[in-house]
A and B are shown apart, each in its own frame.
Chain A
Amino acid sequence: MKITLRLEEDGQESQSVEIETEPTQILHSIADKVAKDFDTDVEDVLQCLAETRGHDSGNTSVAEFFGDERRLYRLRLVCITLHFEGESATRRFHASRTWREVHRWGCKRFCIAEDACPNLELRDGGVEGLLINENQKIGKVHGCKNVWLVAPGPEQNGK
């Protein structure tokens, strides 16, 4: 059976992927393929699919999930470009993900030491940009949002 998944960003369709699959395959295997094509993670794809069908198990079979109905689905994701010390990387996230998850992904992506990672801040638009509360969800994003992982400078004290 053929399934078409379309990526929707900022209210606009940006790309689509067609997948030929067996009805007995589990949803996770489709999500895995789509995640690579759309520069995102399997969990974000499954979250999008769960929204459309109220089903959140990656172990559900393709036939069970899609049934005989339409096999065209839109995945609504947001685009984040993360910068760190001259490097940058782009990934798409489900809007309900928190900024903390973006931060953690960045640490892995830029090979930042585990003990250094939690001592970085996320800033919007530049190294001196607006501070981001990492407990907050990403929410709506216009275009691809540029965010910086920043190590704060030393602070003077009297010891």
Chain B
Amino acid sequence: MANDNFLDRLAADIESAAFQNGVDQKLWELIALAGTALDVRIAASDSAGYLIRLDCTDYWDQAILGQFIDCQTKQCVPSAWPQGSGIFQQWIKYSPGNLFICWDQDRGGISRHSEWAFRKSWQKKTNQLVSYLEFIHRLLWLPQYGYSRRSA
């Protein structure tokens, strides 16, 4: 029953106006949905996009786990991760063997900073999914976060 609630909430957030706005604005695109796993293509300021897999297990009760994956193989490999300056690497950890998003609303980050779990920061906004995608969008667009634009 509880599992149904998680799925219902996730489905509602995927169908929300805010998620659809991101699709309409070409900020992101839902590529695949399998159970609680979403593959989303997210646009970057250099016009190329990244594919991110969002594991939304126990959606809302738990934070989302985001991992960038290769467009073809759908594997989480270092080459699929965006890169940037030291500032960027405060959030995006892309060294081989240590790929995760170090943010208090990502399950990978929380597993390494247990003190974040009690805050439940991912519940600050009512639409957890859109909040997550807007954060990634911000990292890939706003210069202050230090994303390295790729050459064409």
Q: Which residues of chain B come closer than 8 Å to A131, judged between CB atoms?
A: 21-22, 25, 27, 134, 137
Contact A156 B121 (CB under 8 A): yes
Q: Is B90 an interface residue (CB 8 A)?
A: yes
Which single member of A133, A135, A152 contacts B138 (CB below 8 Å)? A152
Q: Which residues of chain B come closer than 8 Å to A132, judged between CB atoms?
A: 25
Contact A156 B26 (CB under 8 A): no
Docked pose: A57 CA to B113 CA in angstroms:
60
Q: Which residues of chain A come closer than 8 Å to B116, judged between CB atoms?
A: 156
Contact B26 A157 (CB under 8 A): no
Contact B91 A119 (CB under 8 A): no
Docked pose: A69 CA to B22 CA in angstroms:
46
- Which residues 125-159 of A have a CB within 8 angstroms of B? 130-133, 135-136, 152, 155-159
Docked pose: A67 CA to B134 CA in angstroms:
52
Which single member of A119, A124, A158 contacts B113 (CB below 8 Å)? A158
Q: Which residues of chain A come closer than 8 Å to B103, judged between CB atoms?
A: 155-157
Q: Is A43 an interface residue (CB 8 A)?
A: no
Which single member of B25, B121, B135 contacts A136 (CB below 8 Å)? B25
Q: Is B55 an interface residue (CB 8 A)?
A: no
Contact B142 A155 (CB under 8 A): no
Docked pose: A131 CA to B133 CA in angstroms:
11
User: Could you tell me the distance in whole angstroms from the C-beta of A145 to the nearest C-beta in chain B?
Assistant: 14
Docked pose: A158 CA to B138 CA in angstroms:
18
Contact A121 B102 (CB under 8 A): no
Docked pose: A156 CA to B103 CA in angstroms:
6
Known: A119-B143, A130-B21, A131-B21. A157 touches B138 (CB 8 A): no
Which single member of B21, B104, B144 contacts A156 (CB below 8 Å)? B104
Shortest 7 CB-CB contacts between residues of A and residues of B: A156-B104, A133-B25, A130-B21, A157-B90, A119-B144, A158-B102, A157-B91
| 5 residue pairs A–B, Cβ–Cβ below 8 Å | A130-B17, A131-B25, A131-B137, A155-B138, A156-B103
With A130-B25, A158-B102 known, 9 other A-B pairs at CB within 8 A are A121-B138, A130-B18, A130-B21, A131-B25, A131-B137, A136-B26, A155-B138, A157-B103, A158-B113
